Amino acid sequence: MTEKMLEITNLKTYFHGDDGVVKAVDGVTITVNKGETVGVVGESGCGKSVTSLSVMRLLHDTPGEIVDGSITFEGKSLLDLSEKEMRMIRGNEIAMIFQEPMTSLNPVYKIGKQLEEVIKLHLHYDKKEARNHAVNMLKLVGLPRAEDVVNEYPHQLSGGMRQRVMIAMAMACNPKLLIADEPTTALDVTIQAQILDLMRKLRDESERSIMLITHDLGVVAEMCDRVVVMYAGEVVEEADVLSIFENPKHPYTKGLLGSVPKLGQDLEKLDSIPGNVPTPANMPKGCKFAPRCEFAMDVCWKKDPSLLATNGNHTCRCWLYQDQEKILEV
């Protein structure tokens, strides 16, 4: 029996804006087992980042609110914890790496201070121990001249170096779960590969769970054990990484895979998925992907399909794979 590290069940995070309620995350269920890397994939605005911020309960200063569902971490219900208890978990048991290494470090403090802050807070080290630990973490993430870097400011480092610092900061308290929100998106391709190598190394060294949020299927293929595909605030498909790449079910997943260039393939033009992610104001009544789907049937416009297992652990939210009887009912 695999041990569940993080269990997000039927999570609904809504944003209250001037134009009404935006259902950024609408009934998402994701499980991350111990030692497992789960990729969460989808276009911009599909709710992947909001899901991760909901786990950390970091929706401060946004009009976002978790309205329903549960988030369980090692058996603890995170949504029932007080803000103080939640702070003990953030940066300590669950750490997060963000998309923007250039702006995620405070420009007015030295790297060392920013690293030591989290170390002192959770590990209760004194100043000297914290400094040693900070230098060791920087060495661990492969930063050259770690002893000097602690005395430098963020603007003196390159984007790749800053992302390494962010990773060092996230790993400093040896978290059980690492949430990486597009950790390589803002970086050069060569640096991307280095950062992924580093993350893989850090994962393999311990039984760490990783929730990797990305829109890059290449990153998913390299890193993940299991993949969750999100579209318009919902999970549309979930399977192990091989099944997703070899046997995608949902037309959206197929579209995503079709829009990735493959080595050795001689194509004039890549496939693309027509249209855009629906805006909250004109969210389709039935399946949210129906307006862009080449297989859309009558039933797709009428009712949103449920997430069903097609075989084993491979689930998919699409009428093409649902019971014929149920379709007739609708």
Partner 1 sequence: MLRYVIKRLIGIIPILFFVSIFIFLFVHLIPGDPARLVAGQDATLQDVEVVRQELGLNQPIHIQYFNFISGIFQGDVGSSIKTGRPVFDEIASRFMPTFWLTFWSMIWAVMVGLLIGVISATKRNKWQDYLGMFGAVSGISMPSFWMGLLLIQVFAVQLGWLPVGGLESWQSYILPSITLGSGVAAVVARFSRSSLMDILKDDYIRTGRAKGLNEHKVVWGHGLKNAMIPVVTMTGLQFGFLLGGSIVIETVFSWPGLGRLLIDSVAFRDYPVIQAEMLLFALEFILINLIVDLIYGFLNPQIRYD
Q: Break the chain down into helix, strand, coil percent, rounded to 5.
A: 40, 25, 40
Using CB under 8 A, which of the segments 102-110, 140-148, 259-267, 280-288 binds partner 1?
A: 102-110
Is 161 near partner 1 (CB under 8 A)? no
**7, 43, 117, 240: residue in contact with partner 1 (rule CB under 8 A):** 117
Is 108 near partner 1 (CB under 8 A)? yes
User: How far is residue 115's CA from residue 122's CA, in Å, rounded to a whole number?
Assistant: 12
What's the closest the beta carbon of residue 36 comes to partner 1, in angstroms?
22
Contact 91, 121 (CB under 8 A): yes
**88, 270, 309, 330: residue in contact with partner 1 (rule CB under 8 A):** 88
Is 96 near partner 1 (CB under 8 A)? yes
Question: Which C-beta is closer to partner 1: that of 92 or that of 194?
Answer: 92
Contact 171, 178 (CB under 8 A): yes
Is 74 near partner 1 (CB under 8 A)? no
Burial of 60 (0-12, 13-18, 19+ CB in 10 A): exposed
Question: Which C-beta is closer to partner 1: that of 47 or that of 286?
Answer: 47
Helix (H) or strand (E) holding 8: strand 4-17
**19, 60, 281, 328: residue in contact with partner 1 (rule CB under 8 A):** 60
DSSP secondary structure string for all residues of 222-251: HH-SEEEEEETTEEEEEEEHHHHHHS--SH
Question: Which C-beta is closer to partner 1: that of 134 or that of 239?
Answer: 134
Binding mask 239-268 for partner 1 (x = CB under 8 A): ------------------------------
Contact 94, 45 (CB under 8 A): no
Instruction: Give the Å distances, CA to CA, from 50 to 53, 97, 100, 232, 318.
Output: 5, 14, 15, 12, 23
Residue 272 zone, left/alpha/beta (φ > 0; ψ -120 to 50; rest): beta
Pairing type for strands 226-231 and 177-181 reads unpaired
**Which is nearest to 315 in space by CA: 258, 256, 234?**
234
User: How far is residue 226's CA from residue 239's CA, in Å, rounded to a whole number?
Assistant: 6
Is 61 near partner 1 (CB under 8 A)? yes
Using CB under 8 A, which of the segments 98-106, 200-208, 249-257, 303-311 binds partner 1?
A: 98-106
Contact 180, 40 (CB under 8 A): no
Is 107 near partner 1 (CB under 8 A)? yes
Is 98 near partner 1 (CB under 8 A)? yes
Pairing type for strands 308-311 and 314-316 reads antiparallel
**87, 139, 302, 326: residue in contact with partner 1 (rule CB under 8 A):** 87
User: How far is residue 213's CA from residue 41's CA, in Å, rounded to a whole number?
Assistant: 6
What's the closest the beta carbon of residue 104 comes to partner 1, in angstroms?
5
Is 73 near partner 1 (CB under 8 A)? no
Q: Is 66 helix (H, G, I), strand (E, B) or coil?
A: strand
Binding mask 12-51 for partner 1 (x = CB under 8 A): ----------------------------------------
Is 121 near partner 1 (CB under 8 A)? yes
What's the closest the beta carbon of residue 175 comes to partner 1, in angstroms?
11
**9, 33, 72, 104: residue in contact with partner 1 (rule CB under 8 A):** 104
Question: Which C-beta is closer to partner 1: that of 186 or that of 296?
Answer: 186
| Residues lying near partner 1 in the complex (CB under 8 A) | 56, 58, 60-61, 84, 87-92, 95-96, 98, 100, 103-109, 117-118, 121-122, 153, 155, 166, 169
